[in-house]
Amino acid sequence: MRTSRAERTTTYVVLVLAAMLALYPIGLILVKAVQPDAIGAASGVDLGNFAEAWDQGEFGSYLRTSVIVTACVVVGATLLSSLAGYAFGTMRFRGSTALFYLLLLGLMVPSEAVVIPLYFQLRSVGLLDTYTALVLPQIAQSLAFGTFWMRAYFRSTSREVVEAARLDGAGHLRIFWSILLPMGRPAVTTMMVLFFMWTWNEFLLPLVVIPSGDLLTAPLGLALFQGQYTAGTSLLAAGAVMVAFPVVVFYLFAQRHFIRGMVDGATKG
C-alpha cells in the first residue's frame, strides 16, 4: 500500500521514538551494571559487579532456587494440563462440563485472594519455607490456563489419526503420549514458554510462603537486596540484570511463542 513520503517519515519517527522509550530503561540498567561504583574509578566495562552480586548478594543461591522452582512448575503444570486437556478435549464423561468450569475459575480468581489463606494453611501443616510451598500453588495457578489451552488443542486434533491408532491396538495412554502430544509440539511449547515466564517473574507467592527468607527466588532476592544496599547501585543493577537475563534471552529466541501465546491465549480466553 502506498502512503505519502511525509506520512512514512512520521511513521518511522514515531516508531523509532517508541522503540527508544521501550529500550532506554533496559539499556540504563545494563550500563549501570558494568560500571564501577566508586567515584573517580576508571570508567569502562567492568564485569566484576556480576561476580560480586553473585557471591556477596547471594544471587547465585536465588537463581538456583528460581531454576529449580521454575523447572518443577513448568514440567508439572505442563504434564497435568496436558493430561486433563486430553480428557476434556477427546472424551465425554459425566460432569466434564462442570469440572471444566471449576478449573476455569482459576483463570478469574486473582492470586491475592488465595495467597494469604494459603500461608496459614501451609503454616498449619509445616510447609512454609519449602519447595512444595513454592511449586504446588504455582502449578495450581497455572492449571486453569494450561487445561484450557490443551483442551483447545486436543479438540482440534484429527479423529482419523486416533481411530487409526486405535485399530492398531493403541490405548489411550499411548495415543496421548506417543501420538497426539508430539503432534501438538507448537501448542505445548507456547504454553511452556508462558509457564516459564510467569513462574520466573512471580513475586507475591514466594514473598508470602517463604517468610524466613531461606529459599528466596531471584525477583525476591532482588527486592531484598534493594532494601539492604541502597548505596551500591551498580551491584543492584548487576543483580537486576541477572534476574531479567534468562527470560529476556529466552524471549529473544522464542519471541514467536511468547507473543503468540499472549495473543492467542488472550483471545481464546
Ranges within 86-145 binding other proteins (CB under 8 A): 86-88, 90-94, 96, 99, 102-103, 105-106, 108-110, 112-121, 136-137, 139-141, 143-144
Of the pair 25, 44, the CB lying nearest other proteins is at 25
Per the rule left: phi > 0, alpha: psi between -120 and 50, beta: everything else, 223 is alpha
What radius of gyration, in Å, describes the C-alpha atoms of the chain?
Answer: 23
Shortest Å, Cβ 83 to other proteins: 5
Of the pair 50, 88, the CB lying nearest other proteins is at 88
The whole-angstrom separation of Cα 205 and Cα 111 is: 8
Of the pair 48, 166, the CB lying nearest other proteins is at 166
C-alpha closest to that of 62 among 229, 250, 223, 234? 223
Of the pair 80, 179, the CB lying nearest other proteins is at 80
Please report whether residue 228 would count as binding other proteins according to CB under 8 A: no
Cα 115 to Cα 54, 110, 194, 205, 208, distances in angstroms: 30, 9, 21, 6, 7
C-alpha closest to that of 26 among 247, 200, 261? 247
Cα 244 to Cα 15, 60, 219, 241, 247, distances in angstroms: 24, 14, 9, 5, 6
- Which of 54, 177, 229, 251 forms a contact with other proteins (CB under 8 A)? 251
Please report whether residue 78 would count as binding other proteins according to CB under 8 A: no
Please report whether residue 262 would count as binding other proteins according to CB under 8 A: yes
The whole-angstrom separation of Cα 112 and Cα 128 is: 17
Nine-digit cell string for 43 = 570508567
Please report whether residue 185 would count as binding other proteins according to CB under 8 A: no
Please report whether residue 64 would count as binding other proteins according to CB under 8 A: no
Residue that the C-alpha cell 548478594 belongs to: 57
Of the pair 68, 207, the CB lying nearest other proteins is at 207
Residue that the C-alpha cell 507467592 belongs to: 205
8-37 residues in contact with other proteins (CB under 8 A) are 8, 10-12, 14-15, 18-19, 21-23, 25-26, 28-29, 32
Per the rule left: phi > 0, alpha: psi between -120 and 50, beta: everything else, 102 is alpha
Shortest Å, Cβ 256 to other proteins: 5
Q: How many residues bind other proteins (CB under 8 A)?
A: 110
The whole-angstrom separation of Cα 218 and Cα 200 is: 8
- Which of 1, 39, 42, 98 forms a contact with other proteins (CB under 8 A)? 1
Please report whether residue 39 would count as binding other proteins according to CB under 8 A: no
Using CB under 8 A, which of the segments 36-44, 47-55, 56-64, 194-202 binds other proteins? 194-202
201-220 residues in contact with other proteins (CB under 8 A) are 201, 203-204, 207-208, 211, 218-220
Shortest Å, Cβ 42 to other proteins: 22
Nine-digit cell string for 181 = 502430544
43-62 residues in contact with other proteins (CB under 8 A) are none
Nine-digit cell string for 145 = 490456563
